[in-house]
Amino acid sequence: YASRKNTRVVVVGGGGTIGSSTALHLLRSGYTPSNITILDTYPIPSAQSAGNDLNKIMGVRGRSKVDMKLELEALDMWLKDELFKLYFHQTGRLDCASSNRVASLRQQYQQLVDAGKGLENSNEWLDSEDAILAKAPVLDRNRIQGWKAIYSRDGGWLAAAKAINAIGAALEAAGVRSRVSGAGSFKRPLFTSDGTMCVGAETVDGSKYYADRVVLAGGAWSPVLVDLDDQCCSKAWVYAHFRLTAQEAAAYKGSPVVYNSDVGFFFEPDENGVIKVCDESPGFTHFKEHQPYGANAPKRISVPRSHAKHPTDTYPDASEKSIRRAIDTYLPRFNDKELYNRTLCWCTDTADAAPLICEHPRWKNFIIATGDSGHCFKLLPNIGKHVVELLEGNLADNLAQAWRWRPGGDTLKSTRGAPAKDLADMPGWKHESVA
Ligand code: FSA
């Protein structure tokens, strides 16, 4: 194995969450900056990345042992790492449930307490409306009747695009090579003449980048670029924004992130008084006939359609209803606010909601790093460290096992409440711009 100094790595999707983190950890591990090449259609933070967002949720949920370990490691970095700590707003996080969902929320709380990581110190079970209102006085008592909640003091929100941007600045300052547009858009891997070993990547403008390792961190575009044997199904989730006056915003400053799987979630206003609201849904697919590299014929694939390329697209009429419902539940005094920047945001789901991070089974040195399943932004500070471990052949067994190549299973439903619906059946979102 060549030394870190001499190993060349191409990161496809280097402008997004997993890709930028990978490039950062290559740099921090002593790889020579000019031997690291990040390719992306857009400059970092890539306008097509789900991470290119006002905010994302931070919290330790610990659904599995592996998740718990990664989330705790990430938390430590969000709190202490000089590059990341500016972007963590530790407002706390409220995970709420009512009626038939209370039992599973209670179980989630017990799991946190039983993990043996001291999480009983940062998590609190809130058994009444009063207890919930004490943590989030901005909520309306009439709208939270019968709710219970977990309050996590170590949760909050992440200034997502700003954090990726900070990685981009660090990469650029160090001299990491970056290519965008046609020169940054992946077309295919390059191989040795026997076709078994990847030696680089070609982009749509015909440029060829030779490397010892190629990492495909294409997010929701990964299954479009390379045949992943149906292990990832890309889906869109939705959000919208509205603006508060300075006076209105003051009361919401420091409010925890409030989440309820029947409703959605919202964040405290940013420094400009902007609140982002999300509904919760199983996501929307966008199936098309498409032939990713490595497939021997076209197949049905959910192909993202980005807001960056289609800025006049919004979201389905049904989403307007569910976003309005979330506002009415959480922020009823703002029911009449005008919404703007209604957007589809693309992630890619695996069947079991664990990422897909492994070497391609037939293409040596071609590494897949995708399948975030909507839960990886919180791992921005550390996910790339483990991609580098994989590159170097020393990824921990439990991570390698969770992230292995594993065809089969239902990616359309994944671990969500229902299978995704297709955007073809959801009117209202598609708006062709008039040039
Ligand atoms: O702490 C978390 O993992 C938040 S997930 C946030 C979310 O919006 C999901 O609720 C949604 O279903 C989708 O996966 C995108 O991410």
Q: Please give the distance, rounded to the nearest whole angstrom, from the Cα atom of residue 362 to the centre of ligand 1.
A: 32
Q: How many C-beta atoms surround the C-beta of residue 396 within 10 A?
A: 13
User: What gap in Å lies between CA 399 and CA 299, rounded to an integer?
Assistant: 30
The pLDDT assigned to 435 comes to 56
pLDDT tens, position by position, 237-249: 999 999 999 999 9
Classify residue 242: in a domain, yes or no.
yes
Can you tell me which atom of ligand 1 is nearest the CA of 281? 12
The answer to whether 140 and 254 have CB atoms below 8 angstroms apart is no
Classify residue 36: in a domain, yes or no.
yes
Where residue 332 sits, what CATH number does that domain have? Answer: 3.30.9.10
pLDDT tens, position by position, 311-341: 999 999 999 999 999 999 999 999 999 999 9
Q: Which of 237, 214, 369 is nearest to 304 (CA)?
A: 237
- Give me the chain's average pLDDT, please: 97
- How would DSSP label each residue in 217-241? --GGGHHHHB--TT--EEEEEEEEE
- State percent of the chain over pLDDT 90: 98
Classify residue 370: in a domain, yes or no.
yes
The pLDDT assigned to 434 comes to 65
| 134-142: long-range pairs with CB below 8 Å, 24+ | 135/92, 135/94, 135/256, 136/94, 136/255, 136/256, 136/258, 138/251, 138/252, 138/255, 138/331, 139/258, 139/330, 140/332, 140/333
Ligand 1: residue whose CA is nearest its atom 9? 374
Instruction: Give the N- to C-terminal CA distance of the chain in Å, as an integer.
Output: 52
Q: Which of 363, 353, 371, 364 is nearest to 393 (CA)?
A: 364
User: What gap in Å lies between CA 60 and CA 76, rounded to an integer?
Assistant: 11
User: What gap in Å lies between CA 391 and CA 36, rounded to an integer?
Assistant: 13
pLDDT tens, position by position, 99-137: 999 999 999 999 999 999 999 999 999 999 999 999 999
Classify residue 113: in a domain, yes or no.
no
In what helix (H) or strand (E) does residue 124 lie, and over which residues does it extend?
strand 123-126
Whole domain around residue 368: which residue ranges?
A: 4-92+154-425
Q: Is 108 exposed, middle or buried (0-12, 13-18, 19+ CB in 10 A)?
A: middle
Classify residue 241: in a domain, yes or no.
yes
Query: Is it the case that residue 38 has pLDDT exceeding 80?
Result: yes
Ligand 1: residue whose CA is nearest its atom 16? 374
Can you tell me which atom of ligand 1 is nearest the CA of 374? 14
Q: Please give the distance, rounded to the nearest whole angstrom, from the Cα atom of residue 57 to the centre of ligand 1.
A: 8
Strands (E), 42-122: 56-58, 88-89, 93-97
The pLDDT assigned to 282 comes to 98
User: Which residues form the pocket of ligand 1, taking CB atoms under 6 Å from any ligand atom?
Assistant: 57, 59, 61, 237, 278, 280, 347, 374-375
The pLDDT assigned to 433 comes to 74
Q: Please give the distance, rounded to the nearest whole angstrom, from the Cα atom of residue 323 to the centre of ligand 1.
A: 15
Record the pTM. 0.98
Classify residue 128: in a domain, yes or no.
no
The pLDDT assigned to 2 comes to 66
Can you tell me which atom of ligand 1 is nearest the CA of 59? 1
Q: Please give the distance, rounded to the nearest whole angstrom, from the Cα atom of residue 31 to the centre of ligand 1.
A: 33
Looking at the structure of the chain, the number of domains it has is 1
Classify residue 122: in a domain, yes or no.
no
Query: Is it the case that residue 158 has pLDDT exceeding 70?
Result: yes
Classify residue 129: in a domain, yes or no.
no
User: What gap in Å lies between CA 234 and CA 299, rounded to an integer?
Assistant: 14
Tokens of 133: 């209102």
Residue with tokens 């029911």: 335
The pLDDT assigned to 432 comes to 84
Q: Which of 241, 325, 233 is nearest to 279 (CA)?
A: 325
ipTM of the complex, rounded to two decimals: 0.94
Can you tell me which atom of ligand 1 is nearest the CA of 282? 12
Residue with tokens 């191409």: 10
Can you tell me which atom of ligand 1 is nearest the CA of 259? 10
Query: Is it the case that residue 203 has pLDDT exceeding 70?
Result: yes
The pLDDT assigned to 128 comes to 98
